[in-house]
């Protein structure tokens, strides 16, 4: 029983220490972890390796084939004896060997088109891999900044709670000396309680954001990660002057998924040409070196079995070489069906590109409009924050000299806290929107420059 108690105590202590462990992590470190751990990205990397193997296979089709064949056996029973021209019961040991080679000289341009198709497939797989990596980087940055935003909002709520508690102490002192009515004390206590409730909600929101961040990176959930916050400078919050048409053109030129969609059409064209090659004749060159041994082969003079080495390496050696031409006449419409199948695939690829281009235009337009909207909010919240701060300070000074009510002070404080929250939210939303715009434009890199991080 004592050992069990000690074990449970040690387990609780270990768990507590694990939960209390804290580790700092920067955005670039988070991105490296996400890139290494993301399952979809690793699958896309496997696709790239497969496409490289496809290229090797198509290149290998230009090489000649080389085969070595051997065979040996024992035959017993009624056989024809070539020396006596009679049939008899014999036991005959035989052996043979051959080496042959062959190479295709012309295959109706199928090999070159298959190789070009494989190269296009490799470029498609590489582009899809890079686009998936951009998505992982973007999602990581978004989750990272979401945690920082919730942390900032939590800090604002804590400061507001401290201010409300100090005001409560002041009101209680004023009620005690009779300078303000007791109802002000009860109102302020209610305000403190409401702020404490808001603090709990903000703490839960921060924990939820951290949980989503940890889950996306697939890292140890028992570590309390401290995300390194950027220093937001004024220069980082200056809106850029974008032109919608230029943004769309840049996205069409740079986005990896658009590049991959165009390559799919190119690959389909190569597949059509390769299928059409089935209508051409094929020309092949072959050669063979062969030999054999038979225990029944005898010297006509001595009537003794000719030795193995003499038969196998000299007397029975034969060589042949040839060139063959195959002209397709009728193959049950297989070539025609393959050509039509490839053409249908090309039409699908063209439709996919058209849909993707339309989606890109919609995404860029929406991101552009949101960016302009958040830029205006950024300016408006700065003005509102300055005005709310001045109003709060003024009402606090008036309340201290008795020329303002507690309700007026509370309303001014709430407006100031709301202005603070709106300001920090607008800052992060502006940064978010810049990254969203970069993602839709295909600008995301593995070392993103997010407000100096």
pLDDT digits (tens, 9 = 90+) for 368-418: 999 999 999 988 999 999 999 999 999 888 888 888 888 888 888 899 999
In this prediction, what percent of the chain has a pLDDT beyond 70? 89
The pLDDT value recorded for residue 10 is: 42
pLDDT at 449 over 60: no
Other C-beta atoms closer than 10 Å to the C-beta of 167 total: 20
Q: Name the nearest CA neighbour of 445 among 85, 112, 27, 116.
A: 27
Q: Name the nearest CA neighbour of 444 among 141, 229, 217.
A: 141
In sequence order, the 6+-apart residues with CB closer than 8 A to the CB of 46 are none
Looking at residues 79-98, what average pLDDT do you find?
A: 74
In this prediction, what percent of the chain has a pLDDT beyond 90? 60
List domains and CATH numbers for the chain: 22-63+108-280+333-441 (1.20.1600.10), 67-106+283-327 (2.20.200)
In terms of Cβ atoms closer than 10 Å to its own Cβ (0-12, 13-18, 19+), residue 217 is buried
pLDDT digits (tens, 9 = 90+) for 314-364: 888 999 999 999 999 988 899 999 999 999 999 999 999 999 999 999 999
pLDDT digits (tens, 9 = 90+) for 190-227: 999 999 999 999 999 999 999 999 999 999 988 888 89
- More confident call, 15 vs 72: 72
The pLDDT value recorded for residue 6 is: 41
The pLDDT value recorded for residue 180 is: 83
Q: State whether the Cα torsion 219-222-228-232 is positive or negative.
A: positive
Other C-beta atoms closer than 10 Å to the C-beta of 210 total: 19
pLDDT at 257 over 90: yes
The pLDDT value recorded for residue 118 is: 97
pLDDT at 9 over 80: no
- More confident call, 8 vs 277: 277
pLDDT digits (tens, 9 = 90+) for 360-379: 999 999 999 999 999 999 88
User: Mean pLDDT score of the chain, rounded to an integer?
Assistant: 87
Task: Look up tokens 């009402």; give the residue.
Answer: 395
The pLDDT value recorded for residue 233 is: 64
**Separation CA 93–CA 305 (nearest Å):** 11
The pLDDT value recorded for residue 76 is: 77
The pLDDT value recorded for residue 297 is: 79
pTM (two decimals): 0.81
pLDDT at 176 over 60: yes
The pLDDT value recorded for residue 129 is: 96
The pLDDT value recorded for residue 77 is: 72
- More confident call, 75 vs 10: 75
The pLDDT value recorded for residue 18 is: 43
SS3 per-residue string spanning the chain: CHHHHHHHHHHHHHHHHHHHCEEEECHHHHHHHHHHHCHHHHHHHHHHHHHHHHHHHHHHCCCCEEEEEEEEEEEEEEEEECCCCEEEEEEEEEEEEEEEEEEEEECCCHHHHHHHHHHHHHHHHHHHHHHHHHHHHHHHHHHHHHHHHHHHHHHHHHHHHHHHHHHHHHHHHHHHHCCCCHHHHHHHHHHHHHHHHHHHHHHHHHHHHHHHHHHHHCCCCCCEEEECCCCCCHHHHCCCCCCHHHHHHHHHHHCHHHHHHHHHHHHHHHHHHHHHHHHCCEEEEEEEEEEEEECCCECCCCCCECCHHHHHHHHCCEEEEEEEEECCCCCCCHHHHHHHHHHHHHHHHHHHHHHHHHHHHHHHHHHHHHHHHHHHHHHHHHHHHHHHHHHHHHHHHHHHCCCCCHHHHHHHHHHHHHHHHHHHHHHHHHHHHHHHHHHHHCCCCCCCCCCCC
């Amino acid at each position: 029983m004592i050992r069990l108690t000690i074990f449970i105590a040690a387990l609780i202590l270990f768990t507590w220490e694990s939960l209390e462990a804290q580790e700092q992590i920067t955005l670039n470190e988070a991105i490296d972890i996400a890139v290494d751990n993301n399952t979809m990205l690793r699958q896309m990397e496997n696709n790239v390796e497969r496409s490289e193997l496809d290229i090797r296979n198509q290149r290998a089709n230009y090489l000649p084939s080389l085969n070595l064949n051997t065979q040996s056996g024992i035959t017993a029973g009624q056989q024809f004896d070539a020396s006596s021209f009679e049939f008899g019961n014999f036991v005959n040991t035989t052996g043979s060997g051959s080496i042959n080679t062959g190479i295709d000289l012309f295959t109706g341009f199928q090999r070159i088109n298959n190789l070009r198709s494989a190269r296009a497939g490799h470029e498609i797989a590489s582009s899809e891999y890079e686009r998936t990596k951009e998505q992982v980087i973007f999602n990581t940055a978004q989750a990272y900044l979401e945690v920082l935003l919730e942390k900032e909002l939590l800090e604002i709520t804590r400061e507001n709670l401290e201010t409300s508690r100090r005001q409560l102490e002041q009101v209680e002192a004023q009620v005690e000396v009779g300078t303000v009515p007791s109802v002000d004390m009860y109102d302020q206590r209610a305000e403190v309680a409401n702020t404490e409730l808001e603090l709990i909600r903000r703490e839960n929101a921060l924990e939820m954001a951290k949980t989503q961040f940890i889950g996306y990176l697939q890292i140890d959930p028992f570590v309390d990660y401290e995300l390194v916050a950027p220093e937001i400078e004024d220069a980082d919050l200056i809106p850029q002057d974008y032109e919608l048409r230029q943004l769309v053109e840049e996205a069409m030129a740079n986005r990896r998924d658009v590049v991959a969609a165009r390559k799919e059409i190119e690959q389909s064209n190569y597949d059509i040409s390769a299928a059409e090659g089935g209508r051409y004749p094929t020309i092949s060159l072959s050669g063979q070196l062969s030999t054999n041994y038979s225990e029944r082969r005898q010297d006509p003079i001595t009537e003794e079995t000719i030795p193995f080495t003499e038969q196998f390496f000299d007397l029975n050696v034969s060589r042949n070489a040839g060139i063959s031409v195959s002209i397709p006449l009728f193959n049950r419409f297989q070539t025609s069906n393959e050509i039509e199948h490839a053409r249908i695939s090309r039409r699908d690829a063209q439709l996919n590109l058209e849909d993707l281009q339309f989606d890109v235009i919609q995404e860029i337009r929406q991101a552009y409009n949101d960016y302009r909207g958040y830029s205006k909010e950024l300016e408006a919240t700065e003005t509102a924050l300055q005005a709310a701060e001045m109003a709060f300070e003024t009402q606090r000074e008036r309340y201290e000299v008795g020329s303002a009510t507690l309700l007026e002070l509370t309303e001014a404080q709430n407006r100031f806290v709301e202005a603070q929250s709106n300001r920090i939210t607008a800052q992060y939303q502006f940064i978010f929107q810049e990254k969203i715009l970069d993602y839709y434009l295909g600008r995301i890199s593995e070392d993103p420059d997010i407000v100096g991080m």
